[in-house]
Amino acid sequence: MQTSVIGFPRIGTVRELKFACEKYFRNEIKAEELRQTAETLRKTHWNTQKNAGIDYISSNDFSYYDMLLDTAVLFGIIPKRYRELNLPELDTYFAMARGYQGASGDVRALAMKKWFNTNYHYIVPELEDDTVITLSGSKLWDEYAEAKALGIETKPVVIGAYTLLKLCRYTGKKTADDYLEEVICAYRELIKKCEEYQVAWLQFDEPSLVQDMEKEDLTLFRKLYDGILPSVKQCKVLLQTYFGDVRDVYPELIKMPFGGIGLDFIEGKETCRLIETYGFPEDKLLFAGLINGKNIWKNHYGKTLQTLEALQKKGIQTVLSTSCSLLHVPYTLKHEKKLSPEYLDHFAFAEEKLEELRELKYLSECGAYHSDAAYLNNEKLFAEDRNCRNVEVEKRLSLVKDSDYVRLPARRERQKLQKKVFGLPELPTTTIGSFPQTKDVKANRSTYRKGEISEQEYVEFNRKKIAECVRWQEEIGLDVLVHGEYERNDMVEYFGEALGGFLFTEKAWVQSYGTRCVKPPIIWGDVYREKPITVEWSVYAQSLTKKIMKGMLTGPVTILNWSFPREDISIKESISQIALAIRDEVLDLEKNGIRMIQIDEAALREKLPLRKTDWQKEYLDFAIPAFRLTHSGVKPETQIHTHMCYSEFTDIIPAIDAMDADVITFEASRSDLQILDALREHHFETEAGPGVYDIHSPRVPSVEEIVAAVERMLTKIDREKLWINPDCGLKTRAMPETDASLRNMTEAARRIRKEV
């Protein structure tokens, strides 16, 4: 039996790529130095996989920013406004990813969206009516040849034609069908070139196939591959799917001339049933995604071997694979010095997963695996008690009543009351919570963590920062203030650290977008709050101003979704435990005089099941009540805000409204504002602050631009319901652009208020 890896992380074990890119952005290094860093990383990653004995190793899974953007560039999908900047190739690429403001022009970045049900974000390619899709780049072959020169035969990976067309944004009149011919030609060219390079296997990633497919989708898929596949001669095509099962297209798929089909056995609930019902052709390889590419718990060998045996009994030629790219897990346990083996024994990051692939390959071939030490050790791990239950937590959860999920009085009444007690100007201005994590802020935290300064010094510094930022916000003229979140590394890690039941890693970074990484905590056991977490900071900040200070919390759904979840209890149970912990914090903030509390649910949307039929029962039915549980205990005049880092919730508007927050702020500046029409149609009650400028880019929006954005919003949303705020927190930005942008934002608000 052979093994395969769909993709490997690329940012570097100590985030080398991130730092090199950021230096390049700041003009501190030349393109050549960045290229060298990238080359070294690729070499390391290939060798690591080779040394683990992996048979199918990917190339072109490396990216400077994002693999969908790479695919777009490979096919010349570069909107005119970026081409017209006339920048060198690499800079055009980064301009699309991050926006550009400089001597050659001023353009915003392309939109960014969450990659299926992960916390990875991809860049949304734009197809304009005059875009010509044609093979343009050479990255795929350059990297293939680079690996080959190292003595490693790889399977180049590229996003498949169907997923590409599904994820593009169409800015003109044309639709996917209008590009069909061009796309087919471009992929045929790609295959032809692969043949020239004597590529043995080529991997087309088609995750869009795990989503609900309508009849038109099936037709589109068929047309594309009926056009593309006849150009294959020597080279074999692996159609790789992940994040679910391909129930809508499976019967078709197995009839098509692919050399191999990659199926997800972890998230693909129906994968086994599909194979059972329709069989799997003898002449193809089944790449069986049995090693979880998204979570960090060790694989249960007994179960995996059973599945492999069943497949082999059916005569299916099986390649053992990861369930998705390992991009979504950290690199290695090697750097984790603080966690004891009692914990570490249970985990496998990317490198350890390679080891699992190697061990499973060996066990499946050795005949009598039942007596093998590797197998027995693994069995023992799953048999032992992990010591992770907490009776108190479980008891409290069992006592939660239906009425605990309902806040009274009804929102309309609360909103009236709140308008009166807060007396805010119309179109109130606010920010989402964090301010720039400047060098001094990070240094303060890291020296404290290393024990180089005392707790008192640490706290003093943060208090000074808070005081400065309160004064600054007053001067800028914001209406609702925040304390700046200087004490937080990350919105989830910070709460995880303060809650019982979580474990933390030192270097377990996972790429979130571009150069941005997160270090998700691990939920090890039952979750509970040990003591107040944010109360002192918020109370101190409020004491410095007469304006309203928003308390700032992360919601239960987001805490769970941005952690590595347990696999021994349900997601629902974990979320409810976290909800009770956050509820305690909400009530403590209120008790201590905080009158507005924002509970961020930045990640609510991303774990929405990929298939509509699962939305309600498998997610919304417990995620939304969990949010309500956090705030249902507050007084009517306490205002609850929530925030979301995206605006693609058109299809779950009633659920968002049912969270029963008083105000929601969300990211909107990179999207069109169709969401606002949809809110109106659904009689959305929650007041709304669609972000008026993009915070993912250093670009400063002008006053006029913001005025225009707000005016557009005002045509779609009631004046008394609109808030003015940026897209998201400002922690990744630098101070000068933040100051300039926020001043422009408050100035814009003043102008619009005057206009009436």
Q: Which residues bind Zn ion (CB under 5 A)?
A: 602, 645, 728
Query: Which option in Zn ion, ligand GLN, none does residue 248 bind, with CB closer than 5 to 8 A by kind?
Result: none
Nearer to Zn ion, 37 or 669 (CB): 669
Give 425's DSSP letter: P
Distance CA 335, CA 343 (A): 14
3-state helix, strand, coil in the chain (%, to 5): 45, 15, 40
DSSP string across 523-546: EEEEEEE-S-SSHHHHHHHHHT-S
Segment interacting with ligand GLN, rule: CB under 6 A, options 120-128, 363-371, 465-473, 723-731:
723-731
In Å, how far are 295, 654, 662, 675 from 682, measured between CA atoms? 36, 7, 16, 11
Query: Which option in Zn ion, ligand GLN, none does residue 434 bind, with CB closer than 5 to 8 A by kind?
Result: ligand GLN
Position 89, amino acid: E
Is 594 strand, coil or helix? coil
Q: One of 121, 328, 483, 696 is an active-site residue; which one?
A: 696
Nearest distance from residue 646's CB to ligand GLN, in Å?
A: 10
Return the HEC string of 617-682. Answer: HHHHHHHHHHHHHHHCCCCCCCEEEEEECCCCCHHHHHHHHCCCCCEEEECCCCCCCHHHHHHHHC
Distance CA 626, CA 642 (A): 13
Segment interacting with ligand GLN, rule: CB under 6 A, options 124-132, 145-153, 429-437, 506-514:
429-437
Nearest distance from residue 98's CB to ligand GLN, in Å?
A: 17
Strands (E), 85-133: 100-102, 105-107, 112-114, 121-123, 126-127
Distance CA 686, CA 656 (A): 9
Q: Tokens for 425, please give them.
A: 């100007």
Residue nearest to ligand GLN (CB): 729
Q: State the maximum Cα–Cα separation within the chain, in Å, rounded to a whole number.
A: 82
* Given 4, 117, 323, 434, the residue binding ligand GLN (CB under 6 A): 434
Q: Which residues contact 8 (CB under 8 A, 6 or more apart)?
A: 45, 48, 49, 58, 61, 325, 326, 327, 350
Nearer to Zn ion, 147 or 602 (CB): 602
Asked if 694 is part of the footprint of ligand GLN (rule: CB under 6 A), the reply reads: no
Nearer to Zn ion, 54 or 728 (CB): 728
Nearer to ligand GLN, 140 or 661 (CB): 661
Asked if 485 is part of the footprint of ligand GLN (rule: CB under 6 A), the reply reads: yes
Asked if 729 is part of the footprint of ligand GLN (rule: CB under 6 A), the reply reads: yes
Nearest distance from residue 643's CB to Zn ion, in Å?
A: 6
On whether the CB atoms of residues 567 and 297 are closer than 8 A, the answer is: yes
Nearer to ligand GLN, 183 or 432 (CB): 432
Asked if 555 is part of the footprint of ligand GLN (rule: CB under 6 A), the reply reads: no
Nearest distance from residue 735's CB to ligand GLN, in Å?
A: 15
Distance CA 657, CA 687 (A): 10
Nearest distance from residue 599's CB to Zn ion, in Å?
A: 12
* Given 728, 742, 745, 752, the residue binding ligand GLN (CB under 6 A): 728
| String marking each residue 628-657 x if it binds ligand GLN according to CB under 6 A | ---------------x-x------------
Nearer to ligand GLN, 434 or 574 (CB): 434
Nearer to Zn ion, 121 or 353 (CB): 121
| String marking each residue 326-365 x if it binds ligand GLN according to CB under 6 A | ----------------------------------------
Asked if 491 is part of the footprint of ligand GLN (rule: CB under 6 A), the reply reads: yes
Query: Which option in Zn ion, ligand GLN, none does residue 731 bind, with CB closer than 5 to 8 A by kind?
Result: ligand GLN
Q: Which residues contact 512 (CB under 8 A, 6 or more apart)?
A: 119, 120, 121, 518
DSSP string across 372-402: -HHHHHHHHHHHS------HHHHHHHHT--G
Q: Does residue 696 have an active-site annotation?
A: yes
Nearer to ligand GLN, 576 or 642 (CB): 642
| String marking each residue 513-552 x if it binds ligand GLN according to CB under 6 A | ---------------------------------------x
Count residues binding ligand GLN (CB under 6 A).
13
Burial of 474 from C-beta contacts in 10 A (0-12 / 13-18 / 19+): middle
On whether the CB atoms of residues 154 and 147 are closer than 8 A, the answer is: yes
CB atoms within 10 A of CB 485: 26
Show which residues are catalytic: 696
Site residues (vs ligand GLN, CB under 6 A): 432-434, 485, 491, 552, 600, 602, 643, 645, 728-729, 731
